[in-house]
Amino acid sequence: MTNNMLKRYLFLLICLPLAAFAQNWDHIQHSGEYYYGEGRGATEAEADQAALSLMTSQIATHVSNDFLQVDDETTVNGDIDHQSRVLNCVKTYSQATLTNTERWVVSRQPDVTIRRYIKRSELKRIFDNRIEKAKDMVEIADECLEKRKIDMALQYYYWAYSLIRSVQFPNEVKSNNGRILVDVLPIKIRDILTNIRVDFLDRTDERVNLRFLYDGKPVSSLEFTYNDGRSDNCEGIAKDGRGMLEMAPGFEDKEILNLHINYEYIEQARGDSEMESVLNVITKKVIPQAGFKVSARSAASSQTAASADKTQTKEISDKQLAQLDMKLKPEQAQTVADAEDYAEIMAKVVEAARSRNLSNVDRYFTIDGGLPRYRALLKMGVARVVGNPNITFFKGVDGQVVARGMQMSLTYNSRGRKKTFVEDVVFTFNDKKKIENVTFGLGQTATNDILCKHPGWNDETKELLMEFLENYKTAYCMKDSVYIRQIFADDAVIIVGNVAKKAAAVGPNEVNREHAVSLKGQEVIRYNRYSKDEYLKNLRRCFDRNEFINLRFSNNEIQRLEKFKDKELFGIQIGQEYTSSTYSDIGYLFLLTDLSDHQLPQIKVRTWQPNEVDMDKLYHAGYFYDN
């Protein structure tokens, strides 16, 4: 081969691929088959965002003419800025789904050029995926409403409604029975809110205690905002029918209280980038039935801000209202013989908590357990006793006595917002009638599931399970990493997961800890598996960056692994609502736990999955032990 021939060969070898790429990009730009964008920047992230932005604008321009907005309320000089609204909606896809478009890195630093493109035929599939997600949420909301989980029903109805409003043809999205969902879902939300009743219970100075009912029965959980006399920016959570408002100093005599039931749940969307972007873009649907005016001086019936005539709300007699506050009733075998002695102690503990004079009751606590735990609890935010506690005593594990029925409110001022939680507080006495442990209770739903679903189990087993879950919850709320380290086995399997459409791509020389698993036909779950030390390291970082952490448990299923006769092994599957000062989510927690050592249980497996997963597709004991 001559030198000239060799030069021609090398020239063709180098230039042909470039020509082919140029021809491909030319085809992408002019064929009419693609949406595309080319971005430049100092970094890949900057160039990639610029390319996505150009591609998004192109999509918005193309679909603008037939993109129907249900509530086009943004105006410019009195006219609806439809193009701007469509662009904002399409951007919600850019932040979530469109990140899976084809990506072409043309040049790298210092002058990065990236091209993004997607086939126009793929756009319908992207819209369809969002519609399916919305329909799944409607099913979840229907199930939650049937189980009287009112807060979750409101959340998923509204989220589904918002997702549908962001697709190209929202009026074409129908339920299984052919009804248009953007018409049906607001009606469902209004119906729920109309059947909520809020009543004044009592007040002490600046604290006002309220009762929250749905269809005549206490709500298990419900979020609300209220005006404390200075700001509408105060948040509260009603639990088992009880909620509390803390008024600003100088406003103790306020006669009418204004509160608003939360149905958007924007904070809970922080873990879902698609849902978060939609809620930030779509105009809020104002539902007047969410507003309540409540008398702050009597048990007068609540009225919505929209109407003084709530004809759909069932009237409840004073006798029926009193029955709603009935205390837990122990079975005969759980009855404590000398309950009067414990009642006398608890009366003094309650009074000391009200007066904040704890030194008067120090002698009723163990120095190394109960006393430091109780003092730590009272330092969590602003802690106050709610109402007049109706305390009941149960036989506990290994000769202990457990006092249940006291509620306390915990108020935090985080990021300029006042937030109040109501918690059950449980006291455990040792055989010398000293309080050796103080924990947060599980709430009525979770407690009833344990007490009532397992008639063949003895009372001590049920109490053991409740104590374990109460200690677990309290450790996270109190950021007790020492206790958490003790209860996780050294070889524990710890999985934190989220739903993903597909497994993350990994190059041949890359190592990725994310794995894709399919649980009986479920959508792919992307999950991270951690060692005990890795999990605790991440947990400590979480504790450090959050002013508060709150766990709420709901319905649960517990399975005993009977084949292990020499051990007390339980698989616990429980609904968990997690709220912190920086993040919130709702999902299912699974714990495979060895309770053989009553003083130091061991968690063998801990998994978490998002709430969108069907109950029959969740992790259970059978995945880890052949039962």
What structural domains does the chain harbor? 1-27 (no CATH), 32-119 (3.10.28.20), 125-311 (no CATH), 327-440 (3.10.450.50), 452-503+513-627 (3.10.450.50)
Q: Which residues pair with 560 in a beta bridge?
A: 570
126 φ/ψ angles, rounded to the nearest 5 degrees: -65, -45
44 and 112 in contact (C-beta within 8 Å)?
yes
Nearest to 257 by CA among 222, 286, 218, 292: 292
Rounded Cα gap, residues 517 and 407, in angstroms: 42
238 and 221 in contact (C-beta within 8 Å)?
yes
Question: Which pLDDT score is estimated for 542?
Answer: 92
Question: CA-CA distances (angstroms) from residue 336 to 326, 332, 341, 388, 433?
Answer: 18, 9, 10, 22, 12
Question: Which pLDDT score is estimated for 146?
Answer: 87
Q: Which residues pair with 424 in a beta bridge?
A: 407
Helix 150-165 with 273-281: angle, nearest 10 deg: 70
State which residues of the chain have pLDDT below 70.
Answer: 1-23, 64-83, 85, 94-100, 205, 252-253, 271, 297-334, 415-416, 497-527, 611-627
Take residue 260 and report the two structure tokens written for it.
Answer: 């608003």
Question: Which pLDDT score is estimated for 179?
Answer: 93
Q: Which residue has the tokens 């939300």?
A: 189
Instruction: Convert the pLDDT of each residue in 400-424 to its tens digit.
Output: 999 998 989 888 887 667 888 889 9
Question: Which pLDDT score is estimated for 4?
Answer: 57
Q: Which residue has the tokens 């507003």?
A: 291
Nearest to 68 by CA among 180, 157, 177, 154: 180
Rounded Cα gap, residues 150 and 576, in angstroms: 15
- Burial class from Cβ neighbours inside 10 Å (0-12, 13-18, 19+) for residue 590 reads buried
Question: Which pLDDT score is estimated for 484?
Answer: 95
238 and 212 in contact (C-beta within 8 Å)?
yes
Q: Which pTM does this prediction carry?
A: 0.69
127 φ/ψ angles, rounded to the nearest 5 degrees: -65, -40
Rg of the chain taking only CA atoms, in angstroms: 29
Question: Which pLDDT score is estimated for 380?
Answer: 87
Rounded Cα gap, residues 328 and 393, in angstroms: 9
Rounded Cα gap, residues 597 and 568, in angstroms: 9
- Contacts (Cβ under 8 Å, ≥6 apart) of 593: 468, 569, 570, 571, 572, 601, 602, 603, 604
Question: Which pLDDT score is estimated for 522?
Answer: 38
Q: CA angle at residue 226 from 140 to 421, to 5 degrees?
A: 65
Question: Which pLDDT score is estimated for 524?
Answer: 43
Instruction: Convert the pLDDT of each residue in 550-599 to its tens digit.
Output: 998 887 888 888 777 778 889 898 888 888 888 777 788 889 999 998 88
